[in-house]
């Protein structure tokens, strides 16, 4: 930020959060989240045309799959979704997906957990729509924000995740719990 490079600061922050969650299995602390907010509120941005800004904001994700974002960004999306729900009377559902052993215990083997977490990530991405959002909450957990969906459709969605996960994991020793 002091170098007047807010885009670079944001990239470094995003990479640091990814390392925290993926390698250390930890969420960013409140102080670290405040750093992210200061990066995004930096007044050091140059004057740009609306066309340049729209290009920068354009979605570069794969169409038809959930939008993956960092946990701090997910918090903002969740809050915005809540406001939109009040205004439009639409429904959104927050789902916590946790990969565990088949008897519901935490997976201790870090290598195995990392592999299963990647398979869960892919199962979620293949089962979701482009209007859905997701973030990695911990080494074994993902948070999903499903929009424009009914309560009756949620089990259909989680069923698709289960099916794709079972195909990828190819082991009955692991399962996904949903809250």
With bands split at pLDDT 50, 70 and 90, how would you rate the model's confidence at 42?
A: low
Span 52-63, pLDDT tens digits: 777 777 767 666
**Beta pairing partners, 74:** none
Span 75-99, pLDDT tens digits: 998 998 888 888 877 788 999 999 9
Distance CA 34, CA 76 (A): 13
Distance CA 117, CA 156 (A): 21
Span 106-130, pLDDT tens digits: 999 999 999 999 999 999 999 998 8
């Amino acid at each position: 930020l002091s170098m007047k490079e807010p885009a670079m600061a944001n990239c470094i922050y995003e990479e640091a959060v990814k390392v925290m969650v993926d390698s250390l299995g930890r969420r960013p602390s409140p102080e670290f989240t405040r750093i992210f907010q200061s990066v995004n509120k930096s007044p050091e941005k140059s004057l740009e045309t609306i066309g340049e800004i729209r290009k920068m904001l354009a979605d570069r994700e794969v169409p038809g799959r959930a939008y993956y974002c960092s946990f701090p960004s997910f918090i903002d999306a969740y809050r915005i979704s809540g406001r939109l729900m009040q205004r439009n009377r639409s429904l959104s559902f927050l789902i916590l997906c946790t990969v565990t052993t088949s008897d519901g215990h935490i997976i201790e083997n870090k290598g195995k957990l990392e592999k299963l977490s990647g398979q869960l990530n892919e199962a979620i991405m293949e089962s979701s729509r482009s209007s859905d959002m997701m973030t990695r909450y911990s080494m074994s957990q993902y948070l999903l924000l499903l929009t424009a969906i009914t309560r009756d459709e949620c089990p259909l969605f989680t069923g698709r995740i289960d099916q794709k996960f079972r195909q990828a994991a190819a082991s009955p020793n692991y399962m996904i719990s949903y809250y």
